[in-house]
């Protein structure tokens, strides 16, 4: 399926947290959007690969995606290899998106950093006809990096005020990841001895205050552009503006220091 925007995450739930509001907004504008998780989330502290797959589908519906898919790269071992690049090249050529979203290249989770490198390489390589995947070569117009744990000075911020409530619904689709003191613990390896329950707060997303932090971040970036909620993005190249008078409308008065 041909997509306008395709977002890659190392794990299911990465994209919802970093650019979910923007994907909801784009779908509302009539664009076809998609999400690809490089892994199935089998080594996540909470839940199992099966639960993650179900939650991923629920979140895809909340985001209004035209396509969503999990690849089979091992969770916790997302490595920068030629084989993995080829898997991502094949997805880019299959969907021919104008814009690709990737995780920011610096992050606390090594899978996120490696996913960033893999997607960046694949976006370029997908345009080289001599790299054979049995598909036509295609290079997206832009690679845009999304913020996860570590902050960056954004190149631009997208107003997601009207999409924010729906973004939080998409995040809540990952119910197994959240703080639930009474929740039964599940394991993806039934033959293994039962693992002791992880203490609450062991994972970032499982902290009781996690959703508050997501909202606070969206408010903070919204404040930078004079709206209620925003999501920050980074591009490595200068942005081309044809008509600065039209581009910098009255709403930019908010941003004069
Ligand atoms: Zn992740």
Q: Please tell me the distance from the alpha carbon of residue 37 to that of residue 13, in angstroms, as a whole number.
A: 8
Instruction: Measure 216 CA to ligand 1 centroid, in angstroms.
Output: 20
Give pLDDT tens digits for 114-153.
999 999 999 999 999 999 999 999 999 999 999 998 999 9
Instruction: Measure 160 CA to ligand 1 centroid, in angstroms.
Output: 22
Q: Residues 51, 39, 107, 7: what is their CA dihedral angle, to the nearest 10 degrees?
A: -100
**How far does CA 212 lie from the centroid of its chain?**
19
Instruction: Measure 137 CA to ligand 1 centroid, in angstroms.
Output: 29
Instruction: Measure 243 CA to ligand 1 centroid, in angstroms.
Output: 38
Give pLDDT tens digits for 30-52.
999 999 999 998 887 777 888 99
Instruction: Measure 41 CA to ligand 1 centroid, in angstroms.
Output: 9
Nearest partner of 51 among 14, 20, 12, judged by Cα? 12
- Residue 250, φ and ψ in degrees, nearest 5: -60, -25
- The single-letter DSSP state of residue 201 is T
Give pLDDT tens digits for 53-109.
999 999 999 999 999 999 999 999 999 999 999 999 999 999 999 999 999 999 999
The secondary structure of 57-89 as a DSSP string is HHHHHHHT-SEEEE--PPTT-----HHHHHHHH
Asked whether the beta carbons of 8 and 88 are under 8 A apart, the reply is yes
Instruction: Measure 103 CA to ligand 1 centroid, in angstroms.
Output: 9
Instruction: Measure 251 CA to ligand 1 centroid, in angstroms.
Output: 34
Instruction: Measure 222 CA to ligand 1 centroid, in angstroms.
Output: 24
Instruction: Measure 168 CA to ligand 1 centroid, in angstroms.
Output: 17
Q: Please tell me the distance from the alpha carbon of residue 105 to that of residue 110, in angstroms, as a whole number.
A: 10
Strands 142-146 and 67-70 come out as unpaired
The secondary structure of 30-60 as a DSSP string is T--EEEEESS--TT-SSS-HHHHHHHHHHHH
Instruction: Measure 248 CA to ligand 1 centroid, in angstroms.
Output: 35
Asked whether the beta carbons of 144 and 15 are under 8 A apart, the reply is no
Instruction: Measure 70 CA to ligand 1 centroid, in angstroms.
Output: 13
Nearest partner of 87 among 149, 131, 146, judged by Cα? 131
Instruction: Measure 13 CA to ligand 1 centroid, in angstroms.
Output: 7
Instruction: Measure 214 CA to ligand 1 centroid, in angstroms.
Output: 15
Q: Please tell me the distance from the alpha carbon of residue 40 to that of residue 90, in angstroms, as a whole number.
A: 18
The reported pLDDT for the residue numbered 47 is 77
Give pLDDT tens digits for 145-176.
999 989 999 999 999 999 999 999 999 999 88
Instruction: Measure 135 CA to ligand 1 centroid, in angstroms.
Output: 29
Task: Give me the chain's average pLDDT, please.
Answer: 90
The reported pLDDT for the residue numbered 178 is 73
Asked whether the beta carbons of 29 and 160 are under 8 A apart, the reply is no
Instruction: Measure 232 CA to ligand 1 centroid, in angstroms.
Output: 18
State the pTM of this model.
0.89
Instruction: Measure 235 CA to ligand 1 centroid, in angstroms.
Output: 21
Contacts 24+ apart (CB under 8 A), 136-139: 136/93, 137/93, 138/92, 138/93, 138/96
């Amino acid at each position: 399926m041909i997509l306008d925007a395709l977002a890659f995450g190392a794990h299911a739930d990465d994209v919802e947290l970093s650019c979910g509001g923007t994907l909801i907004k784009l779908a509302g504008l009539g664009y076809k959007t998609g999400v690809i998780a490089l892994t199935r989330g089998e080594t996540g502290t909470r839940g199992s690969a099966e639960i993650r797959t179900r939650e991923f589908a629920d979140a895809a519906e909340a985001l209004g995606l035209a396509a969503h898919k999990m690849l089979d790269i091992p969770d916790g071992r997302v490595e920068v290899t030629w084989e993995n690049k080829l898997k991502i090249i094949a997805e880019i050529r299959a969907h021919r998106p104008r814009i690709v979203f990737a995780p920011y290249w610096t992050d606390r989770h090594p899978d996120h950093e490696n996913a960033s490198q893999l997607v960046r390489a694949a976006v370029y390589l997908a345009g080289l006809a001599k790299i054979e995947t049995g598909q036509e070569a295609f290079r997206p117009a832009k690679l845009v990096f999304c913020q996860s744990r570590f902050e960056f000075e954004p190149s631009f911020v997208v107003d997601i005020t009207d999409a924010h409530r729906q973004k939080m619904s998409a995040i809540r689709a990952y119910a197994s990841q959240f703080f639930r003191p009474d929740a039964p613990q599940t394991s993806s390896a039934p033959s293994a001895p039962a693992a002791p329950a992880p203490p609450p707060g062991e994972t970032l997303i499982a902290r009781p205050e996690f959703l508050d932090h997501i909202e606070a971040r969206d408010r903070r970036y919204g404040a930078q552009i004079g709206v209620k909620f925003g999501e920050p993005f980074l591009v490595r190249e200068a942005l081309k503006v044809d008509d600065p008078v039209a581009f910098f409308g009255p709403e930019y008065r908010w941003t004069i220091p």
